Amino acid sequence: MRINREDCTALVIDIQERLFPHVAGKEELLRRCLILLEGLRLLEVPVSVTEQYPKGLGPTLPEIREALDPFSPTEKMAFSCCDEPAYRSTIDHSNRRTVIICGIETHVCVLQTVVDLLELGFHPVVVADCTGSRNTADRQVALERMRQEGAVVTTCESILFELARVSGTPLFKSISRLVK
């Protein structure tokens, strides 16, 4: 499946202040997520954000909030973003069938969202180096399950260059500077 930016939307799942400090490899995860978000901005891919029970887990990290303009998160209590009516309405009305996904935790909210997106006929693209869990084994098993379920699992650099499609353009040069 070739991924085309005109058919893509993106989803940042639950990168929140009280959960994030417990995620394995959190510094590199945040660095990669910020690269992804800047690349998606340059590529004009719309981005949605969810927050799992923000009263308990806090708001989205300030770095992520600052990378998104406008920033308008969808609060949720269900683990799967697809169980939140506001998010379902957003993707159902977007006319875009491919959902690029980053966030935490890979083995809970990310996994359940991906499985539900597949069931709903969407094409989830999980950006592996932009997902995290407290336990690395949980993350690895979840990524493998998502792949087995039919999701595309890729990396930040790979998806940004795939969406850019060609080299030698100003867009390509901007993406190239981001990933270096």
Q: What is the pTM of this model?
A: 0.97
* Cα–Cα dist 99/127, whole Å: 10
pLDDT tens for 16-69 read 999 999 999 999 999 999 999 999 999 999 999 999 999 999 999 999 999 998
pLDDT at 70: 86
Q: List % helix, strand, coil for the chain (3-state, nearest 5).
A: 50, 20, 30
Residues (pLDDT < 50) of the chain are none
What is the residue extent of each domain of the chain? 5-179
pLDDT at 120: 97
pLDDT at 69: 86
Find all residues with CB under 8 Å of 88, minimum gap 6, and list them.
82
Strand partners, 52: 76
- CATH 3.40.50.850 describes domain 5-179: yes
